[in-house]
Structure 1
Amino acid sequence: MARLFSNRIISLITIFMAALLLFPSPAMAERIKDLGTFQGLRANQLTGYGVVVGLPGTGDDSLEYATLGVKGMANRFGLTLPPGINPSLKNAAAVMVTVELPPFAKPGQRLDVTVSAIGKAKSLRGGTLIMMPLYGADGQVYAMAQGNLAVGGLGVGAADGSRTTVNIPSVGRIAGGATVERAVDTGFNQSPYLTFNLSEFDLTTALRVAEAINQKFPEARAEASDGVSIRISAPASGNERMMMMGLIENIEVTPADAPARVIINARTGTVVINGAVRISPAAISHGKLTVKVDENPTVIQPEPFSRGQTAVEPSSEITIEEKTAPMFELAPGASLSEMVAAINAIGVTPGDLAAILDALKQAGALKAELIII
């Protein structure tokens, strides 16, 4: 009953989402800044290996790489541990630290830090990250991190070995825990051109963006290099470049209509169809076959004063039920509303709808890109 109710809910959601597309709304103008980004204005990922100390017995214990990390940290402060002596690290944990360096970040700026345990540490709650460098993809140090962790998870253990965990206690954050030490050279002021990259490939949208920029800045000589990039002549002054970019970002452009697509989530049974989908002439018939097996074992008792034994005699009943639905035909160039109405008329589930759409695609009748995720 619960599964049937869940299938009905999913089916109703699918029908509702499709109904939203029955009356396609006119394309709305969008700001250029919402369609993509300027080349060079990108974030960079920084990573590093460090040690968190001050844990209440929830650390890595005596893992070798955690021990080496603590020894290296001690060496930085001029403390050399005797050979063969390894510290007990129940109060320390080896961690990986990740930071996103925003574009144009300057030395001295503070960044938020994410700290994740990589060993046997059960919780980082109450820990402190010891100063450590953060490296970019080129192997250079761009920031230094240190600070007290804020952990949203919680883990509690009992003497009998049972344990309860809330959220993820092995991951924490340090607000403003990293300091930028080196700026990333983007070459922003060196190139004679600015390049704007669309988030999604579309030739028509790229041409419309270039045309809108030329109407606002005739001297910019914007041109679409391909279906993603628009090249714009830029002034030499950095201030003038920033002013031009700010004005370009707020120009409104009507993007091209999205291509016809059908998205099917095979795990949840969700089917999303956009309003550009069209169907060639096709006839569809869909039915269900249900096989039901009932087990009714019979207990057989021996006669009184006999030497027989009680036995169970199996008894099975197999019932096959096939539900058929009438075949229906889709007219040439059927729209989304007509297709949804016709398919809903035979009462299909989202899983059945996915099978029908896949079959239509294989038959060449579905004029859309079929994407299964």
Structure 2
Amino acid sequence: MIKKLKRIAKDLLAIPAVRKAYELANRGVLTAAGTTRLGATLYSIPGFGTFNREQFAVLSGRRAYYENLRRSRSSHVELRRNIHRLEKGILMRPRRDAFAKDYILETVDFYRTALRRGPQDPVMDASEMTWAHDVLAEYFAVVTVADPVVDRARAVFTSLEHSTTDGTVKPYVHGDIPQSDVTYEQLAALSMQRRSVRWFLDKPVERELLDKALLVGRQSPTACNRLPYEYLVFDDPAMVERVAGIPFGAAGYAHQIPTLIVVKGRLDSYFSPRDRHVIYIDAALASMGFMYALETLGLSSSVINWPDFEPLEAKMAKTLGLAPYERVIMLIAVGYADPTGLVAFSQKKDLDVLRSFNSLES
């Protein structure tokens, strides 16, 4: 029935007079809805389904965030957030004598809970716990003034049984960062080398190369160091074809993609809807670094666009078994480029078009 109605609508829109009337009505509705917040609110009533999946994902993510606080997990986003906040306080200039008093007790409690549940989870992120310990230890080393809140937190932290660390996973001076030999010219050349490749050789992609590229990608900046994304890698041909056949953007070349990656964002990393867009920002930053790294390893890639289109969202969620708070950010095709395949020129905007200086409303 739905397909029949769509076909009828398509046939009607092929009639010039009907098409013109539709366009006029559409512009009128968008003018009314897109001019004021009130208009947008009224428009959202009949258009409820357009944004409902995202709203459900955000609310489901917030619910899962609080439920996760009571669960054993491999990674603890609440601890990661607070430890990074401590790092920023430690490196601040000038540094306050006592800082983080509004969340230091909470942070130590998060750390204590993670320590106690660690033995129940064989895949707990040991590097995360080392980082948390060393930053907390540094915090209590630099905050030496007497303060009842800090003293209570210090007492709890001191009483815990920690794993042995060398105490180096904490803020350090910029001058100690090892400098690479990569020049601007080399980086610019790499950016020109990386083209969106859609035609690949019939050759499998080594998993260890993907892991090496992911190590680069994960170094990308991320809000409060939460890394709210995961990379779902498919290199089984049948699975690749199944997943690659879902998005519109892979039509015509999905059948010969050697490896397909679904970049997934996790909205259960946040307790507030204010952060609902961070999964897209952080995952995109990491994915660009990942794709540049692939180029250095002889691999090529292309991003498969993932529009927020309800039928495809539902199909992908069912195929991958996604939780309501897990959102697909993008898909990335990876493989060895066919040297005879064409790539799009993709002329970029002129610099003066996409950049401005000191532009403020007067």
Same fold judged by TM-score > 0.5? no
Select the structure that is richer in strand. 1
Select the structure that is richer in helix. 2
Q: TM-score, normalized by length of structure 2?
A: 0.23
Q: TM-score, normalized by length of structure 1?
A: 0.22
Q: Which has the larger radius of gyration?
A: 1
- Relative contact order, CA 8 A, sep 6+: which one is greater? 2
